[in-house]
Structure 1
Amino acid sequence: MVSAQPILKSSEQGPSRGTLIFGKKLDDAQVRKLSKIAGFSASLSSKPKPSENASPFRVKTSNEHAIKGILILNDLNGDPAATLSVQSKRIIYQKGQQAIFAFLITLLAVGAILLLALYFALDHLVVSRIVTLIETIRYIRQSDRLSARVLARGKDEIGGLAKEINGMLSSLQAYQQQLSRQAFYDPLTHLPNRLLLMQKLDEITKKQDGHTAILFLDLDGFKEINDTYGHACGDMLLVEVGRNVLRQLEEGDLFCRLGGDEFIMLLSNWANRTELLGKVHAVIREISRPVEVESRDVTVTVSIGISLYPDNGTDPEELIQKADEAMYRAKRAGKNLYDFYAF
């Protein structure tokens, strides 16, 4: 390499006093030494490529990891004589890539955490509550327990839906109870009817345990009261008779109205016939007491027929029929009496 500079005064003015020429031999060994000192790769080529002649110095990227600088060295005549190539790592580019990669990783991690948090929030606030709602509704449907309720918490749409479902269940439960009363209870006296009586008798006979007395009751003189005072008075009398007899019952006993002035009573809490007869006499006395209806005292008596389970059979219909036969014998014997079914 050769360089020439004019010799001037220190003021750099005036004519040149001469020319200072200095040179440095630049070969592959010097280039390697330069590379070692500078910390980058350098190479010297004595034959510049035609495409490199356009610009004495330019920079280009070799690949995504390195950048290359090319310097055209001219001879004393100004013609291209050699090419000095310098290649260095793209440190800034690589650090930028690393920074972008780290940013993307951080962004993905934050996004994953947010999605996970959103999932748990949705699971707690929405999914788990909907699953609980579905499971409770399935349980109610399978068990037919309209008294059960779904968990209603929160003031959002799901909480509102749960409250509406509970309201619907309350309405259905009330309607079911109303239907049950219509199906199993007498609308006038509100006593159990024949359907509930047969269910109770069926339970008793299937248990095959203990004993039960079936009392068939028929009021004496009820038709005359209806004819004399009217059906409204007769209905009020039936209601009062039902209330009075219910006071004589113990837990496990049952008093039903079959229709008209006929009733059935099931008595299970007795140890022997003497104790049973004491209960029968108490019922007769209770029904025979005067009842005030429309400001007048009305009196009826009762004829009672009695069959015993299991002594007189185990079939519910058969037991009722036998008690009915015994009741008619009591009426024929003079009314206001009781009679047991005779084998």
Structure 2
Amino acid sequence: MNLRPRILLMTALLLGALLATMYYAASSRLAGSYAQFEQRLGETHLAGLQQWFAHELQGLEATNGDWSSWNATWDFAAAPAQRYIDDNLAVGGLAQLRIHLFVIFGRDGRPLLGVHNRPADDADVAPAADDPAFVARGRGGVALQLRDVLQPCGEHELAQLAALPGLTALASDSRRRMSGLLRLGAQAYLYSARPILDNAGQGPVHGVLLVARRVDRALLDTLTQMNSVPLQAVDTQQPWPGGAGEHWLEHTPDGELFGWLRFDGADGRPALVLRSGPLPDLRPQAIAAEEWLRYTLLLAGGACVLLVLGLLERLVLRRIAAIDAGVAEIERSRDPGARRIADSGHDELARLGHALNRMLDTLQAAHLEIIREALHDELTGLANRRRVFDALLAAIATQDARLALLLIDLDGFKAVNDTLGHAAGDTVLRTVAGRLRAATRRTDLPARLGGDEFVVLVVAGDAREDAQWLARKFAHAIARPVPYGDTYAQVTASIGIALYPQDGRDAETLFAAADAALYAVKRAGRDGWRFATDQPAATLDDR
């Protein structure tokens, strides 16, 4: 037999054996991969639920921080009064924040106020028949009244809350915080507890504020819509597999996959148990993939595949895999400079590597430049004009938004530049930026518009009251002398304040109103502040 037929016959036999081996190995691997992917998909789903609850707790802690570090709450904890309830709790504020339980404890651990924020026809709102409603009392023992959707907590409920491990220690340590899940009767809550301090976050501690959000059907329905997987709360006494940890996956006899998730309370007992599923079934996709693999391997092949496989792996595939790995690593890290692409040689793949590296260098430089220019002012490190405008537009787009815009212009800055030089002016701008940053809260956004103009966006709390309080702080802070060499630079601030929606319903109108108020302060003698809707300007001397 000639060499050609023998090579063809041997190639056909080797290719047939190779295709059969590839099919059985790939089929087995594919089935195992789908099973592993289904398992990882379930674990990722449960991890996502845990992250969502952690995110909800972070938001609840931030809300508690605003209420607990507030002079009104601080004063109430020292001397309970009806006005605090009427002005802050009975006007729908808790409902907007989705706060369902609001409890204030005194320094001695006794409850001063305990309310449920739920409709009166809610079956869960009333205390149990054997749990008398707690009555908050003010000065002289006068009972405080609850109105609208506010309902009193039961005394047994408050006793259960007061018994939370570590709660009483909050009243003696202003730095301690507590958060997690708890269970009152048949209802699970996300809760946050913090010591009650003044506006500046200083003591003495007057008590402890505990706020909680119900894990109810509405919240679970929201999670179901987000994940497209049914979610339900089950009995916390449900048996839990040993060694399962906080979550586990249940494979039913009919092949369905369910996820179980447990959240423990501060006492170590289950506060909430969730069952999620059935999770997406990947068996049809696995069967279809196996059929596709079978037909592909039966139709594919040929003598050229076996002959060129070695060269293809050595000269092409291995190098492409290296390029792909480099690109995948860059994609995972979101950093164009995370890795260089292999570009050794002089062929097409080498030129491709060279081109990709040049492109990545350009992207890295552009990426860094965009981040720097888009987010920060180069001189002061504050947010720049674009960022504050984006934040203002986002705040206006929220429902029932209440915010304030404080436009600040430095008085006497030109004189500093003229007498001490532009370097001194830059020092003044950086110092003023640092003082603004120190005087604002984490919910406020200070920014530099350019030159000696600054702006602060206030998006939380009582916009008018907070704006006036911040304007007073800014005026005092900016008026302090700025050391420069062996002398001092002195500037003051003229501040114009515009409120949304009173002074405008878009960014341009608000800035125009704040600018008009600012120049009214300038005309009135500078060194003060004014609301756009006010006539006379408030000066620092007036305060």
Partner of 1:258: 449
Report the RMSD for the aligned CA atoms in angstroms. 4.2
Q: Aligned in 2, Cα 1:169/1:251: closer, same or farther, shift over 3 Å? A: farther
Corresponding residue number in structure 1 for 2:434: 243
Report the more deviating stretch, 267-276 or 236-245: 267-276
Q: How far apart in 2 are the matches of 1:124 and 1:320?
A: 65
Q: Secondary structure at the residue paired with 1:307?
A: strand
> Bigger CA drift: 116-125 or 273-282?
116-125
Supply the AA of the counterpart residue of 2:525. G
CA contact (8 A) 2:336 2:361 kept: no
Greater percentage in strand:
1
Change (3 A) 1:341 1:120: farther
Query: What residue is the counterpart of 1:147 in the other structure?
Result: 335
Partner of 2:477: 286
Matched to 1:324, the amino acid is D
Structure 1 partner of 2:504: 313
Preserved CA contact (<8 Å) 1:152 1:163: no
Change (3 A) 1:330 1:100: closer
Who wins on radius of gyration, i.e. which is larger?
1
The answer as to 2:312 corresponding to 1:122 is yes
Partners of 2:530 and 2:387 in 1: CA distance: 25
Asked if the contact 1:306–1:326 (Cα under 8 Å) also holds between the matched residues in 2, the reply is: yes
Structural mapping, 1:24-63, within 5 Å: none
1:188 equivalent in structure 2: 379
Quote the Cα distance in structure 2 between the aligned partners of 1:103 and 1:187.
72
Identity %: 33
Q: CA deviation at 1:188?
A: 3.3
Deviation at 1:148, TM superposition (A): 5.7
Against the structure 1 CA distance between its residues 129 and 209, is the aligned structure 2 distance closer, same or farther, given a 3 Å change threshold? farther
| Greater displacement, 191-200 / 123-132 | 123-132
Supply the AA of the counterpart residue of 1:338.
W
Contact 1:213 1:307 (C-alpha < 8 Å) held by counterparts: yes
1:278 corresponds to which letter in structure 2? W
Residues of 2 paired with 1:152 and 1:330: CA distance?
57
Tell me, what secondary structure is at the counterpart of 2:439? coil
**Distance change in 2, residues 1:172/1:217 (3 Å):** same
- Given candidates 96, 106, 113, the residue that maps to 2:10 is 106
Work out the CA distance in 1 between the residues paired with 2:472 and 2:306: 78
Distance 2:312 2:339 in 1: 17
Amino acid at match of 1:109: L
Q: Which moved more, 1:176-185 or 1:235-244?
A: 176-185
d(CA) in 2 for partners of 1:205, 1:125: 58
Secondary structure at the aligned position of 2:476 is classed as helix
Q: State the alpha-carbon separation in 2 of the partners of residues 246 and 317 from structure 1.
A: 24
| Residues 1:335 and 2:526 are matched in the alignment | yes
The question of whether the paired residues in 1 share the 8 Å contact of 2:417 and 2:425 is answered with yes
CA drift at 1:288? 1.6
Residue 465 of structure 2 aligns with which residue?
A: 274
| Alpha-carbon spacing, 1:223–1:149, altered in 2? closer, same or farther (3 Å) | closer
Alpha-carbon distance in 1 for matches of 2:439, 2:9: 84
The AA in structure 1 aligned to 2:380 is T
Aligned to 2:423: 232
**Contact 1:287-1:301 within 8 A present in 2 as well:** yes
In structure 2, give the amino acid aligned to 1:247: A
Q: Kindly tell me: are residues 101 and 318 of structure 1, through their superposed partners in 2, closer, same or farther at Cα, counting changes over 3 Å?
A: closer
Distance 1:101 1:222 in 2: 95
Please list every run of 5 or more consecutive structure 1 residues that lacks an aligned counterpart in the other structure: 1-96
1:207: how far off? 3.1
| Aligned-pair CA distance for 1:238 | 1.3
Counterpart in the other structure of 2:407 = 216
Contact 1:309 1:319 in 2 (8 A): yes
How far is 1:162 from its partner?
5.4
Distance 1:337 1:169, change over 3 A: same
Q: Contact 1:153–1:159 at 8 Å: present in 2 too?
A: no
Question: What SS does the aligned partner of 1:250 have?
Answer: coil
Task: Tell me the secondary structure at the aligned position of residue 247 of structure 1.
Answer: helix
8 Å Cα contact 1:147/1:169 also seen in 2 = no
Quickly say closer, same or farther: Cα 1:116–1:303, change in 2 above 3 A: same
Distance 2:402 2:394 in 1: 12
1:245–1:283 Cα contact (<8 Å) kept:
yes
SS of the residue corresponding to residue 218 of structure 1 reads strand
The SS at the match of 1:334 is: coil
Q: Which amino acid aligns with 2:427?
A: M
| Partner Cα separation in structure 2 for residue 313 and residue 213 of structure 1 | 11
Normalised by the length of structure 1, the TM-score is 0.56
Tell me the TM-score normalized by structure 2. 0.37
Contact in 2 for aligned 1:215/1:264 (Cα 8 Å): yes
List per-residue Cα deviations over 1:6-29 (Å, max 9, x = no partner): xxxxxxxxxxxxxxxxxxxxxxxx
- Name 1:304's counterpart in structure 2: 495
Instruction: Give CA-to-partner distance per residue, 1:237-292, whole Å, 9 cap, x none.
Output: 11221122122333343222223322111121333533433222222222122211
Partners of 2:365 and 2:441 in 1: CA distance: 28
Gap change, CA 1:100 and 1:209, over 3 Å in 2: same
Instruction: State the one-letter code of the partner of 1:229.
Output: L
Q: Give CA deviations for 1:100-126 in whole Å, capped at 9, x if unaligned.
A: 966752355347688348548836984
